[in-house]
Structure 1
Amino acid sequence: MASRKSAWCALAALTAGVAVAVHAPSAHAAGLSPFDVAGRGATVPFVELEAEKAAHNGTSTGTDRTYGKLSSEASGREAVTLDAAGEYVEFTLTKPANAVTFRYSIPDSANGAGRDATIDLRTGSTLIKTVPVTSKYSWYYGYYPFTNNPGDPLPHHFYDEARALFGTTYQAGTKIRLQVSSTAQSPSFTVDLADFELVPDPIAKPANAIDVVADYGADPSGATDSTAKFQAAVNAGASSGRVVYVPRGTFTLYSHVIVDRVTLAGAGPWYSVLGGRHPTQRNLAAGLYGKYVGEGGPSQNVVVRDLAVIGDIRERVDEHQVNAFGGAMSNSAIDNVWMQHTKVGAWMDGPMDRFTIRNSRILDQTADGVNFHIGVTNSTVTNTFVRNTGDDALAMWAENVPNVGNSFTRNTIVAPILANHLVSYGGRDITMTDNVVSESVSNGGGIHVGNRYPGVNGATAVAGTWTLARNTLIRAGNSDYNWNFGIGALWFWGDSAPITGATINVTDTDILDSSYAGIQWIGNQTSGLNLTNVTIAGAGTFALQAQAPASARFTNVRASGIAQAQTVYNCAGAGLQIADGGGNSGWSTANSYCGPWPAPQWNNGTTTPPTTPPTTPPTTPPTTPPAGNLAAGRPASATSQVDVYVPANATDGNPNSYWESSNGSFPQSITVDLGQNRSVARLVLKLPPASAWATRTQTLSVLGSTNGSSFTTLKSSSGYVFDPAGANTATVTFPASTARYVRLTFTGNTGWPAGQLSEFEVHSS
């Protein structure tokens, strides 16, 4: 939470040691990576390599999970420290790459203002690039609200991330080093990991688009404030219905740009970068905001895609609206956007409806990654990668107005420094499915359901049917420095009200190597809970931790690697009522304990993901199309759209969402960007499978392009029948061709006077 979040303010004694390097060879621990879990989590464009598993001549940080240690915040709970000139971590590429993002920590300056340094990227003896690094966006101190004063206790939030384009493509097998050339600027450099990727060429300006530089004079060098020029361009795009294009450049914005009924599209998140902060009014900074309710909002039909918002926020002040995205946006989407160094990636204040964040990266925030706050409905975050947030990674907070029908699906989340990976404070009919999370650090767990915080009670409390399915929680749960006891990887807190007004179904879920308990209840009573096909493989303390009455039905809940001989911590006595649905093992309420808290014993979990396939079929369609579809999750654009039926619906993997063009105005086109040139030979085109979609014939042609500007015909115009008896699917085949951009041009539709498409699959054979 990033606004009025005062619950962490209570002080409690905690002895936290300062991170000390362990001067021994790295153990190269084989801890499970979130990217080891097939079929769950975000589909990301990079390959992640851990420093401790790479060749290096540095020193391991060790694998301690204690708050305040460098290892506690590291991915996999281990990193490598380099503290002499010539020391390095050397990664071997497993796929071609022309860019890297690496996670690192350098010591803070004595006054807490931050230190600047550089580290070399090399291949062998050849210098690729010298990359700036800094501690300005890391190192916080004390209890919430945190300070930048090194004299305060509890240093934390040690890591930051830097990215660099190589300028050339290196092939698989190439060895890339992060190497220290001097310790004059910083006495040490700790390297956690590196994400290598093949960044595609910049996306060309769409036809007839407004160019913020060429048409409105925005400064791509970042030397001057371009806020007013961006706002003028966005306003012109809204009034004319034209896309607003942000070309390659770094643009300084001293304040928010208000977006409404407009598409703002960049050349790609590695090329089109928005940033900046007002030099004197520090509560003003770069951000793209919808109109607030009461100020003409919510904004409608906004699309922001293919750009980055990389801010300059170095502290946490909850009253400051210095987020990458904010305000209220209905029927809107954020697609393929990189958010970094802002307070919150997207703090959305409703009421608002049908808002989507997808295919994005949210890194290094001072507070939440995303928060759906106040009456946000039917909204989602999907296929998004989140790492190193300062508070909850993905959150919903139903303050005073119910949140209804929201979902977090197919996301990968690593190391929120405070609080939870996935959480909803109140809300009705909430879904969290197919996510992978790892590394809780403090005061939170992997998935949290809570009646907590102001305005969460009565009509806004947990209600309806909740679906928590096919999630994997790795090294989740940790200590709370207020309470001095562990928090479960999956936990329920009826704080402001008992959690008794909902049916909560947890199915096909893996809880792996939990730092403390696997599942926890605290506060007031929890009921209506059903756990089916849940694996608890490794727990630092207990399988179950009941500090409040709870009633649940457990079916096929299997535990192993539980550190304590007594598998259940039960201080609720007879208030813990678990109905046995059969198939349970490795835990027993008869084998319980209530007493002093034991010290956790870590690394009890599996080093490989469970291989047993889920026995419960998905209750919602997957948001990522099956393997082999080159268009899965890729950006899509169109000559027009109607209402919420945006082009991205055709590549989101959900057969029930669809794109629709303007009515009565053929020809109309939809184009998917595959990210790089690929061999293409077959399309699978779909409409929603419901029988209400009567049989229709759509007349269309297929075109391809390698550069986004000149297209050739891959398949001449022909009619294709979409029949609900055949799942409303049509297949188009043509001789194999090379294309990055694949376009469909519609010239007729017997069922509706517009182009319509639910899924636009592109295959190589």
Structure 2
Amino acid sequence: MLRSTSTAPAEARPSTGPLRRAGATLAAVLCLGSLLGGTALAETGASAHPQPPVLTRAALDPSLVQGRGADLAMDEQEAESAATNGTVIGPDRTAYTLPAEASGRKAVKLTPGQHVEFTLPRTADAITVRYSIPDAPGGGGITAPLDVTVNGKRRTTMTLTSQYSWLYNQYPFSNDPNAGLLHSDWWITECSCVPDATTPAPVIAKPFRPNHFYDEQRLLLGRTYRAGDTVRLTVPAGSRAAWTVIDLLDSQRVGPPHVDVRAANVLAFGADPSGRRDSADAVERAIAYAQRKHLKVYLPPGTYQVNRHIVVDKVTIEGAGSWYTIIKGRQITLATPAPDGSVHTGVGFYGKDALAGGSSDVHLSGFAIEGDVRERIDTDQVNGVGGAMSDSTVTGLYLHHTKVGLWFDGPMSNLRVTGNVIADQIADGLNFHTGVTDSTVENNFVRNTGDDGLAMWSEKTANARNTFARNTVQSPVLANGIAIYGGTDNTVSGNLIADPVREGSALHIGSRFGAQAFTGRLRIADNTTVRAGTYELNWNIGLGAIWIYALEKNIDADIQVTGDHFLDNTYNAVMLVSDFPVKDLYSITNTHFKDIRVDGTGTSVLSARSAGSASFENVDARNVGAVGVNNCGSFHFTPAGSEFSLTDLGGNDGGGTTGPWLAPWELPNTITCDDRPPVVAPPAPSAW
């Protein structure tokens, strides 16, 4: 079978206190933790001439995003660029389709007997497969096999599942493909009507708005393979899945598990690494012992069943690595709702509530949290990491199938979240909610969230002086890649955001959801977005790759957008808007764009649908699909011009077939309003 070649070193036997009881089993657990590859079944023929690997980052040539986004030593290969006898689907950016939710808006569809084969670009001992298989006819998902062969000689079978994908209907969505409208009093774009107010009632096709199609699964290959070796994914004959879509393969070198012989080993306190028995109590006993003895807590390789929150304070908990130590839980229905409105609980590590003083000096690293969340219930606290944690760190976790990977309710300060992978969430990847200050989210990889990838939400108290830096956010199914809702002196820099699917953008600055006003300075610097700017169903228009939205207050803080690259924009690169009912109440001012590159827009560089103003300096654009500035102002169309004015500070070059993107005749506030301009698909981005 495919297994890790690593074993426990002799010095891994603890020698003091209750830790001694763990020594005899540690080597066995390390072996257990390596059995993640499955069973070797057969040998098959290898490709005589492997196809050279095509490496990408967010489905782009890596040279186009150099120095931006997370660096977690994963090599991404898109299935559509690999060798296959399947069918390439896409490109398509239409929401509720399989290509739209795929990385790069393409994937490969396989039927039983078909395969896709990747060539490793460098040494690797682990892979991640992003895939989709059909739902069950009545919802709830199915399982189906996928054979993995390496060099045609070693084969294991992964068991894919659609139990955590396939949502339907309107927010907050349903698992039932046959459900009627959840909100028949809402505007429905598909019928251009409010069904409750329509006679006769429209027929809405079912399933209505299927989405959240993809999931991912990880596999340890059992040994280290070399560059040039091939990994073939084959749908076996007789698969229950009529089709299997492969989006991409990530490969990496994980290396041996981490061992800490001086820590409080959870095995000594009764934890079960087989996952058959609940280990929550044992983990808590280890934490209590470690706090008394001023030790770390160590989680050796294995799968530990934990079905509730582990409350942490003043403790360091480290695993053997996120590929080896798995904390896995079932979602549990509570007998009565909790005071916070939760009707379920599940696996998670939580700081104490801020109202109870919060937690501090918490350090979590080196393990995976596998949740069991299959529906969106916003009152549920079923997040991977939560609560309030000041002066703390979260590093090297893999967070999968929870509601939100990390949701922090402040006030709290000085948290560092670094080097984590957050995948396949029902809602956000990470959210700083209410009074989080002086904290950093850096070098994290976020993919396939059901809401914002990364968010700061200043709902009751302003978030201040926080930084989101050098993260990669891919394919948020709903909403935005990175969203900032109010706050003071925050920074978003050096991130890579790709392929938002619907009703959101790559970068969002929003006065909404009851957020405190923006004050001080907001820096949006040196980020790259690609294939961004989605279709807003309620407005029936396309958004910008960066979307600034004054819904509940003026946005008049100092907003500096500097050094950003907006690539292959579906609609506009930049959009500033106030919702129509409040267009005469709120405006957007004091916003400045400098040293920007825009490579390809389906429509304009700038769409202004608000009163206010912005300045532009050294904004270079090419492959612009419509007039450079689509200026509607606040839709009064006065003889004096638009209510939104532009200041040209020089160096604004380039454009498209209609001429310079920022032409003298557009300044300062010429009305150029085209509510829904034709979309011209831009060419693929290239070196500037």
Shift of 1:369: 0.2
Match of 1:76 among 104, 122, 127: 104
Instruction: Tell me the SS of whatever aligns to 1:225.
Output: coil
| Residue of structure 2 equivalent to 1:561 | 623
Shift of 1:127: 3.8
2-structure distance, mates of 1:254, 1:412: 30
Where does 1:249-648 land on structure 2 (aligned, <5 Å)? 249-281=302-334, 283-295=344-356, 297-454=357-514, 456=515, 460-500=516-556, 502-523=557-578, 524-564=586-626, 566-572=627-633, 573-585=641-653, 586=655, 587-588=661-662, 590=665, 593-606=672-685, 608-610=686-688
Q: Check if 1:210 corresponds to 2:267.
A: no
Which segment is superposed worse, 539-548 or 572-581? 572-581
Q: Which amino acid aligns with 2:172?
A: P
Instruction: Tell me the SS of whatever aligns to 1:390.
Output: coil
Instruction: Tell me the SS of whatever aligns to 1:551.
Output: strand
Shift of 1:194: 0.2
Q: Which amino acid aligns with 2:569?
A: S
2-structure distance, mates of 1:342, 1:173: 36
Shift of 1:605: 4.2
Shift of 1:182: 2.2
Contact map agreement 1:238 1:260 (CA 8 A) in 2: no
Larger RCO, structures 1/2 (Cα 8 Å, 6+ apart): 2
Contact map agreement 1:411 1:434 (CA 8 A) in 2: yes
Shift of 1:83: 1.2
Q: Which amino acid aligns with 2:266?
A: V
| Residue of structure 2 equivalent to 1:632 | none
2-structure distance, mates of 1:464, 1:279: 43
Instruction: Tell me the SS of whatever aligns to 1:593.
Output: coil
| Residue of structure 2 equivalent to 1:219 | 272
Residues 470/338 of structure 1: CA separation in 2 closer, same or farther (3 Å cut): same
Q: How big is each residue's C-alpha offset from its partner over 1:196-249, in whole Å with a ceiling of 9 and x where there is no partner?
A: 011110001142x10011x21111111111111111211222232210000001
Shift of 1:183: 4.2
Instruction: Tell me the SS of whatever aligns to 1:235.
Output: helix
2-structure distance, mates of 1:260, 1:248: 23
Unmatched 5+ residue regions in structure 2?
1-53, 179-206, 335-342, 579-585, 634-640, 656-660
Q: Which amino acid aligns with 2:157?
A: T
Q: How big is each residue's C-alpha offset from its partner over 1:554-582, in whole Å with a ceiling of 9 and x where there is no partner?
A: 10011111112x22211115222111110
Q: Check if 1:100 corresponds to 2:160.
A: no
Contact map agreement 1:266 1:305 (CA 8 A) in 2: yes
Instruction: Tell me the SS of whatever aligns to 2:354.
Output: coil
* TM value normalised by structure 2: 0.81
| Residue of structure 1 equivalent to 2:148 | 121
2-structure distance, mates of 1:485, 1:340: 33
Contact map agreement 2:311 2:351 (CA 8 A) in 1: yes
Residues 287/34 of structure 1: CA separation in 2 closer, same or farther (3 Å cut): farther
Contact map agreement 1:521 1:549 (CA 8 A) in 2: no
| Residue of structure 1 equivalent to 2:241 | 186
1-structure distance, mates of 2:222, 2:573: 46
Shift of 1:105: 0.4
1-structure distance, mates of 2:678, 2:477: 21
RMSD of aligned C-alpha atoms? 1.6
1-structure distance, mates of 2:62, 2:362: 32
| Residue of structure 2 equivalent to 1:635 | none
Contact map agreement 1:374 1:397 (CA 8 A) in 2: yes
Q: How big is each residue's C-alpha offset from its partner over 1:248-276, in whole Å with a ceiling of 9 and x where there is no partner?
A: 01111110000000000000000011111
2-structure distance, mates of 1:421, 1:35: 19
Q: Check if 1:231 corresponds to 2:284.
A: yes
1-structure distance, mates of 2:371, 2:476: 19
Q: How big is each residue's C-alpha offset from its partner over 1:450-493, in whole Å with a ceiling of 9 and x where there is no partner?
A: 11102x2xxx2111011111110111110112221111101100
| Residue of structure 2 equivalent to 1:196 | 251
Q: How big is each residue's C-alpha offset from its partner over 1:710-744, in whole Å with a ceiling of 9 and x where there is no partner?
A: xxxxxxxxxxxxxxxxxxxxxxxxxxxxxxxxxxx
2-structure distance, mates of 1:331, 1:45: 27
| Residue of structure 1 equivalent to 2:160 | 133
2-structure distance, mates of 1:482, 1:29: 37
Q: Which amino acid aligns with 2:548?
A: F
2-structure distance, mates of 1:206, 1:125: 39
2-structure distance, mates of 1:78, 1:336: 29
1-structure distance, mates of 2:675, 2:632: 11
Residues 596/552 of structure 1: CA separation in 2 closer, same or farther (3 Å cut): closer
Contact map agreement 1:539 1:604 (CA 8 A) in 2: no
Shift of 1:280: 4.4
| Residue of structure 1 equivalent to 2:215 | 160
Contact map agreement 2:631 2:642 (CA 8 A) in 1: no
Contact map agreement 1:34 1:436 (CA 8 A) in 2: no
Shift of 1:29: 13
1-structure distance, mates of 2:681, 2:480: 19
2-structure distance, mates of 1:609, 1:476: 18
Shift of 1:593: 3.0
Which segment is superposed worse, 313-322 or 232-241? 232-241
Q: Which amino acid aligns with 1:283?
A: H
Residues 448/279 of structure 1: CA separation in 2 closer, same or farther (3 Å cut): closer
1-structure distance, mates of 2:61, 2:352: 37
Residues 158/88 of structure 1: CA separation in 2 closer, same or farther (3 Å cut): same
1-structure distance, mates of 2:211, 2:679: 20
Q: How big is each residue's C-alpha offset from its partner over 1:150-188, in whole Å with a ceiling of 9 and x where there is no partner?
A: 124100111000110111111100111111112431000
Q: Check if 1:41 corresponds to 2:69.
A: yes
Residues 34/393 of structure 1: CA separation in 2 closer, same or farther (3 Å cut): farther
Which segment is superposed worse, 424-433 or 275-284? 275-284
* TM value normalised by structure 1: 0.73
2-structure distance, mates of 1:223, 1:34: 45
Q: How big is each residue's C-alpha offset from its partner over 1:288-343, in whole Å with a ceiling of 9 and x where there is no partner?
A: 00000222x31010000111111111111111100000000000000111111100
Instruction: Tell me the SS of whatever aligns to 2:287.
Output: helix
1-structure distance, mates of 2:247, 2:466: 33
1-structure distance, mates of 2:287, 2:687: 47
1-structure distance, mates of 2:68, 2:674: 38
2-structure distance, mates of 1:237, 1:452: 43
Match of 1:170 among 192, 205, 225: 225
Q: Which amino acid aligns with 2:167?
A: Y
Residues 594/292 of structure 1: CA separation in 2 closer, same or farther (3 Å cut): same
Unmatched 5+ residue regions in structure 1?
1-27, 611-765
